[in-house]
Amino acid sequence: MSSQPQSATSPNPSLARAHYLQGAAWGLFAISIWVGWILLTRHGVTTSLSPYDITALRFACAGLLLAPVVYQQGWGIGSVGLKKWLVIVSCAGVPYVLISSSGLQFAPAAHAGALIPGTMPLWASLLAMFFLGEKIAGVRKLGLLLIPVGIFIFIGAGLTEFASGYWRGHLLFLAAAMCWASFTVAMRSAGLSGFSPLQAASVVSVFSALVYLPMYALFLPHRIMDAPIGPIVIQTIYQGVFVSIISLFAYARAVSILGASLGASFASLVPVLAMLSAIPILGEWPEPIDYIGIAAITFGVFLSSGAYQVLRTQKS
């Protein structure tokens, strides 16, 4: 999945309807890819491929395609600073993909859709308050409070039902969300130095490929040699092209048209779409209590992103 640093600015209250629809189309396109990533990865790691294979396919493809960008624009260490750069390449690179795809071995796609994009705003806000001195107030604070409530409703039963093994996936999803939140906060300030989303995606992909692929080939267990060629090709194209490149471009376009807060609000649709899509595609039916938890997380993300305030301003 991809992200864009939040901005302190809000979209123009007089945003034209046509421009809003255009931005909404880009936003929906981006989150459709994110939902597809959850479903496809879940299918991959529960059938013929391992998380190590998924990670290798993703960065082999994206690293090769984005290498020219790094060659042209450089690694960006000087403009960002080494510490911040390491956070960016680590938290959006191999650790994030390995942790999230490993979690999908143990818990359903709907759980990943709720706990990764659902809790990322909570982690990002906490990190921004601690490291950047950001203050959260009004309905955004209410939204952040709703997220842990939804998490408790959603996974509360799973914490005591150890037989299902879902708790392992839940912990990994929360860790993945923490990784992406760290990347988001680092990018928020790195963007001020001219470190664009495309350059960030390129640096993450190329650096991850250079570091991870030799380790994968020599030391890590993999099942790719026994997997059918069809799933390998599909995973390579989707992970390396659609997720790593196209979704980033689509999301950046949505944010550029709508503004950061309203553009980010589309992430609140991921939990619902992942849950609904997993029913016909993977045959994973949520428990009745899951609907309440996902609704609370989704509404919390919507409020905490600032989108509610933006939409209210546009209507007034």
As a three-state string, the secondary structure of the chain is: CCCCCCCCCCCCCCCCHHHHHHHHHHHHHHHHHHHHHHHHHHHHHCCCCCHHHHHHHHHHHHHHHHHHHHHHHCCCHHHHCHHHHHHHHHHCCHHHHHHHHHHCCCCCHHHHHHHHHHHHHHHHHHHHHHHCCCCCCCHHHHHHHHHHHHHHHHHCHHHCCCCCCHHHHHHHHHHHHHHHHHHHHHHHHHHHHCCCHHHHHHHHHHHHHHHHHHHHHHCCCCCHHHCCHHHHHHHHHHHHHHHHHHHHHHHHHHHHHHCHHHHHHHHHHHHHHHHHHHHHHHCCCCCHHHHHHHHHHHHHHHHHCCHHHHHHHHHC
What is the distance between the alpha carbons of residues 71 and 59, in angstroms, rounded to a whole number?
17
Flag whether the pTM goes above 0.85: no
pLDDT value at residue 163: 65
Pseudo-torsion of CA 274, 276, 280, 285, nearest 10°? 100
Cα 42 versus chain centre, distance: 15
Q: Which two tokens stand for residue 11?
A: 């979209």
CA 167 to chain centre: 20
Q: Give dist(CA 141, CA 125) in Å, integer.
A: 10
Q: What is the pLDDT of residue 308?
A: 63
Q: Rounded distance, CA 70 to CA 183, Å?
A: 19
Domain map (residue ranges) of the chain: 17-315
Helix axes 17-45, 247-258, angle to 10 degrees: 150
What does the pLDDT read at residue 157? Answer: 56
> For residue 9, what pLDDT is reported?
39
pLDDT of residue 7: 41
pLDDT given for residue 118 in this prediction: 77
* pLDDT attached to residue 141: 77
Q: What number of CA atoms fall less than 13 Å from residue 287's CA on the CB side?
A: 11
> How far apart, in whole angstroms, are the C-alpha atoms of residue 243 and residue 246?
6
pLDDT beneath 70, residues of the chain: 1-17, 132, 154-164, 190-193, 252, 255-256, 258-266, 268, 305-316
Q: What is the pLDDT of residue 8?
A: 38
Q: Which amino acid is at 44?
A: G
